[in-house]
Amino acid sequence: MNILEVQGIRKIYDKDKMPVHALNGIDLNFEQGEFASIVGPSGSGKTTLLNIIGGLDDPTEGYVMIDGVNISTLSGSKKTEFRMKNIGFVFQSFNLIPVLTVKENIEFVMFLQGIPKEAREKRTKELINSVGLNDKTNIRPSKLSGGQQQRVAVARALASRPRFILADEPTANLDSKSTDNLLDIMEKLNKEENITFIFSTHDARVVKRARRIITIEDGKVISDERVNGER
Amino acid sequence: MRSIVVIIAITLGVFAGIFIMAFANGMVEERIKAIITTEISHIQIHRPGFKDNNDFSLRIDNANSIIPLIEKTKNVAAVSKRLVISSLAASAETNTGVKILGIIPEEQKNVSNLHTKIIDGKYFEGVEKNPVVIGQKLAEKLKVSVHKKIIITVQDIHTNIISGAFRVAGIYKTDNDLFDEANIFVRYDDLANLTGLKGTEAHEIAILLNKNENTDKVKEQLKNELPDLEVKDWMEISPEAGYLVSAMDQYMAVIIIIILLALCFGIINTMLMVVLERVHELGMLIAIGMSKLKVFGMVMLETVYLSVTGGIIGIASGFIICKHLEKVGLDLYFWKDVYSSFGYSSFIYPVVNLRLIVFTGIMVILMGIISAIYPAFKALKLNPAEATRAE
C-alpha cells in the first residue's frame, strides 16, 4: 500500500516575469519501507521535489497525498503540524541547533509535540543508541565530526516516528568513512524498523545502496528502477 | 557578542535616563528647599493685593495680635513678621532697585536660614546703628564691603520720599544670584522708624511648617481663620517653582521615552540582523515542525529578554549610584556661576524617584516588545524551502 502519492506535480517559479519550470509533471508512489534515491544533475529539480513532498513548498499544479491526506491543501500551521508528526528531515548541512546538546537536539521535536519528559528521554536514549553516539550525549554539535552530526540529524528525524524520512544530499559534506557509517545506520533502521527513506543525491555510494533509483532531468522522471528485481 | 552589545547599550541608556531623572529631581528638590528655607518659607500672609505691586499702604495693621494665633496652629514651626518695601539702594559708585525687608533678626532665624549664608561680616552684629545685610551680588554691583555705607531711599507713610543711611553689617550668599541682588535685610525697628510706622504692622507674615506635606492643610485652616487676609503657599507665591514640580515628572518621562525610542531602533536593527543571519536555522526549525507562531514567539522573547536584562542592570546600577550620590552629593563647582545665575545650587544631591523607576521598567518591557515585532514578523515570512537552502 502506498504511503506517499505524488501526482501531476508541476512547479513554476516566478510565473509572471521570467518563469522557471522546475518540475514538469511528476508522478510517483512510495510504499512503506522503501529505500529510494532521486538522482539527477544539478538543477534537475531533486530538491524542489523533496521540498514539495515534505510540505516545505507548494506545487503550482498537482498534489501530494500522505496516508490519504492531501497535504497541498493544508493551511500553513496544519502543514507544519503534519510535518512534525509524519515527516523527518535530514539536511545536507546537518542543521542541528548549535546551543543544544546531542540529547537536546534529538528531544527537541518531541518537545514541540508536547510529549512528556519521561517518554522523551526514553525515546532519545533509544535513538542515541541506534546511531551509536552513547558517549556523545551531552556534547554540543560544534564538538562533533561531520559524520557524527549527521547521525544526530538522522536520530532527530526519527524522533517523532515519522512515516518517512526525506534526506537532501545527506552525505554531501561527509568523507567516505562517515558516509559508509551513516548509510549503514540508515539501512539498518530501514530494515529493522521498516522506515522509508527517500534521498536526493549525487553521491554514487548512496545510489549504490538504494533499492529504488528515480532519475529526474529537467523536472521530469526519466527512469524509475527498482534494483534486485523489485518493481 | 551581539547580544552583549545590545544589553550594554540598553544598560547605558537606562542608566543615563535614571541618572538624568535623579539629577533633575535633586536639582528641583534643592531649589524648593532653598525657596522654602531661605526665601519664602512655606506660607505667607499679606493684605489682599499687596503681592501685585508691593503697595506700601497695604499693611497688616494688627500683625502683633495675629502672630500668636498663627503660632498656636498645629504643624506651625515658626512665624515671623516683616516689612517689605521696594526701594533704591545707592552707594558712592552706583544705585539700583532692591526690595528691603525689615525683619526681627532673632525671629527671622526661625523661619529662614539666611543667617547661615553670611560669607563676610556678621548677621546684624558689629554695626550698632542701622545695620544692613546685603547679598554678595549686590555688594559687587554697588562696590561696597562690610562696614561701608549705603543710602536707602523709600516712601514713608505720608508718601514722602525719604532716605536713610545704613551700614553693611554682613554680606550673604545663597545659590540664587537673582535673590542676592534683589533683597536686602534691615532691622524691623530701623525701617519702621525711618518710614514712620508704629511697630505693630507688617506687610508680610512668613510661616515655616514642620513638614512640607502639611502646607495645604495649614493654609486652608489659616484661610478660614483669617478671611480678610490673603494666605498663599510657596507654590502660589513662586509659581515657576510650582510649575517646575508639576512639570518635572512629565519632562523626565519624555526624556526616558526619547532615550528608549533611540534604543528601540538599535534593537530593531540588531534583531533584524539576528533573524537574517539565522534564516537557515529558522527555516530548519520550521521544517522539523516548529510552528511559525512559535518562531514568532521565540524572536519576540529573545528581544524582550535582552531588553529586560539590560533594563534591570541599568535600573539597578542607576539606582545604586544615585542612592550613593544622594548621600554624598555631586559637586559641579566648575559650573557654579551658571547654576547660581538661574537660582540653583551647583552641589546636587540626586534623588531617586521610585515612581519614575517603575515607569522606566514598564517602558523597557514595552520597548522590548515593540522592537521585537518587526524582526519577528520577518521571521514569520520565511519560506522554509528557501530558508533551509540559504547560506
How do residues B87-105 score in pLDDT, each as one tens digit?
999 999 899 999 999 999 9
C-alpha distances (whole Å) from A101 to each of A104, A156, B255, B284 are: 5, 12, 44, 17
Residue A195 or B385, more confident: A195
Measured from the Cβ of residue A230, the count of other Cβ atoms closer than 10 Å reads: 9
* Closest listed residue to residue A195, CA positions, set A224, A155, A227, A230: A155
Helix (H) or strand (E) holding B259, with range, is helix B239-277
Put simply, the answer to whether A56 touches B289 (Cβ < 8 Å) is: no
Which is it for strands A196-201 and A35-39: parallel, antiparallel or unpaired? parallel
Give B298-356 pLDDT, tens digit per residue: 888 888 888 889 989 999 999 999 999 999 988 888 887 788 777 777 888 998 878 87
pLDDT at A19: 84
Residues of chain A contacting B285 with CB distance shorter than 8 Å: 97
Q: Which of A60-64, A83-87, B181-185 has the lowest mean pLDDT?
A: A83-87
User: Average pLDDT of A157-172?
Assistant: 89
Please tell me the pTM assigned to this model: 0.72
Tell if the CB–CB gap between B388 and A113 is shorter than 8 Å.
no
Determine the distance in angstroms separating the CA of A89 from the nearest CA of chain B, rounded to an integer.
7
Percent of chain A residues past pLDDT 90, beyond the cut: 44
Question: Nearest-CA distance from A212 to chain B in Å?
Answer: 25
**What was the pLDDT predicted at B390?**
61
Instruction: Compute CA distances B234 → A118, B49, B70, B208, whole Å.
Output: 71, 17, 17, 10
* B383 touches A: beta carbon within 8 Å: yes
**Contact B280/A at CB under 8 A:** yes
Closest-CA residue of B relative to A98 is B281
pLDDT of A125 over the 90 cut: yes
Fold (topology level) of B77-205: Cathepsin D, subunit A; domain 1 (2.40.70)
The reported pLDDT for the residue numbered B391 is 55
For the segment B254-264, what is each residue's pLDDT rounded down to a tens digit? 888 888 888 88
Residues from chain A that touch B288, judged by Cβ atoms under 8 A, are: 83-84, 89, 108-109, 112, 156-157
Q: Residue for cell digits 529505500? A: A35
> Which helix (DSSP H) or strand (DSSP E) does residue A149 occupy?
helix A146-158
Q: In the structure, what pLDDT confidence band is assigned to residue B153 with cuts at 50, 70 and 90?
A: very high
Does A57 reach chain B within 8 Å, measured CB to CB? yes
Q: Which pLDDT value is given to residue B363?
A: 83
Contact state of A91 with B292 under an 8 Å Cβ cutoff: no
- The dihedrals phi and psi of B88, each to the nearest 5 degrees, come to -120, 130
Q: Poorest-confidence range of A140-149, A218-227, B283-292?
A: B283-292
Instruction: Report the chain B residue with the minimal C-alpha distance to residue A99.
Output: B281
User: With a CB-CB cutoff of 8 Å, which residues 142-161 of chain A face chain B?
Assistant: 156-157, 160
A31 contacts A10 by C-beta, under 8 angstroms: no
Interface size, chain A vs chain B, as Cβ–Cβ contacts under 8 Å? 57
A160 with B286: Cβ contact below 8 A = no
Tens-place pLDDT, residues A3-59: 899 999 999 988 778 888 889 999 999 999 999 999 998 888 898 999 999 988 889
Reported as a pLDDT band with limits 50, 70 and 90, residue A182 is: confident
Judged by a CB distance cut-off of 8 A, whether residue B160 touches chain A is: no
Q: In this complex, is the C-beta atom of A72 within 8 Å of any C-beta atom belonging to chain B?
A: no
What was the pLDDT predicted at B306?
86
A85 has a chain B CB within 8 A of its CB = yes
pLDDT band per the 50, 70, 90 thresholds, residue B180: very high
Q: How confident is the model at residue A230 (pLDDT cuts 50, 70, 90)?
A: very low
Instruction: Give the closest-approach CA distance of A82 to chain B in angstroms.
Output: 8
Average pLDDT over residues A136-142: 93
Q: Does any CB of chain A come closer than 8 Å to the CB of residue B284? A: yes
Across the interface, whether the CB atoms of B284 and A47 are under 8 A apart is answered no
> For B36-50, what is each residue's pLDDT tens digit?
999 889 999 999 999
Check residue B112 and give its pLDDT: 93
A207 interfaces chain B, CB cutoff of 8 Å? no
B290 touches A at CB < 8 Å: yes
Contact A158, A88 (CB under 8 A): yes
Summarised one tens digit per residue, pLDDT across range B204-254 is: 999 999 988 899 999 999 999 999 999 999 989 988 877 777 787 788 778
Q: Which of A47, A95, A113 sits opposite B284 (nearest CB)?
A: A95
pLDDT at residue number A177: 87
Confidence band (pLDDT; 50, 70, 90) for A231?
very low
- CATH 2.40.70 domain position(s) in chain B: 77-205
Label residue A229 by pLDDT band (50, 70, 90). very low
Given a cut of 60, is residue B185 above it in pLDDT?
yes
Chain A residue nearest residue B288, CA to CA:
A84
pLDDT category, A100, cuts 50, 70, 90? very high
